[in-house]
Amino acid sequence: DAKTTQPNSMESNEEEPVHLPCNHSTISGTDYIHWYRQLPSQGPEYVIHGLTSNVNNRMASLAIAEDRKSSTLILHRATLRDAAVYYCILRDRDNAGNMLTFGGGTRLMVKP
C-alpha cells in the first residue's frame, strides 16, 4: 500500500482556518485520498475524499496537488469540537473491500 506522511501535531486558534498537510509521493493512479478524523474517545469519522480535483463538503475542503503527491485538508473555521486526530489514508479505487490502514495521523489542538 502507498504510504502517507503527516505531521504529528498542529495547533490552531478557534475560528481560524486550518491547513492539514499530507504527503503521499508513491500514490498510484487509482488511489483515492481519504481523510478521517477521530475525536477523543470516539470511533473514526469519515471527513472527505477525492481523486484528482479539489473537493468540498459541509465538513471540510480537500486540495489535491496537481501531481497528486500531496494533499491538504482545510477546515475553514476551526472550532473546539474540531480538536481530533486527522488521518490521511489512500484507498485503491478498484480493490473492493480493502481495509483502511491508519497511520499516526495529525493531532490537531484548537485553542480558544
Partner 1 sequence: EPEVTQTPSHQVTQMGQEVILRCVPISNHLYFYWYRQILGQKVEFLVSFYNNEISEKSEIFDDQFSVERPDGSNFTLKIRSTKLEDSAMYFCASNSQGRGNYGYTFGSGTRLTVV
In the complex, which residues of this chain contact partner 1 (CB under 8 A)? 30-32, 34, 36, 38, 42-46, 49, 51, 87, 91-104
Residue 110 CB, shortest distance to partner 1, in Å, is: 21
Residue 14 CB, shortest distance to partner 1, in Å, is: 25
3-state secondary structure of 90: strand
Beta bridge partners of 92: 31
Instruction: Return the number of the residue (18 or 89) whose C-beta is nearest partner 1.
Output: 89
Residue 17 CB, shortest distance to partner 1, in Å, is: 23
Q: Give the Cα separation of 99 and 83 in Å (integer).
A: 25
Burial class (CB in 10 A: 0-12, 13-18, 19+), 108: buried
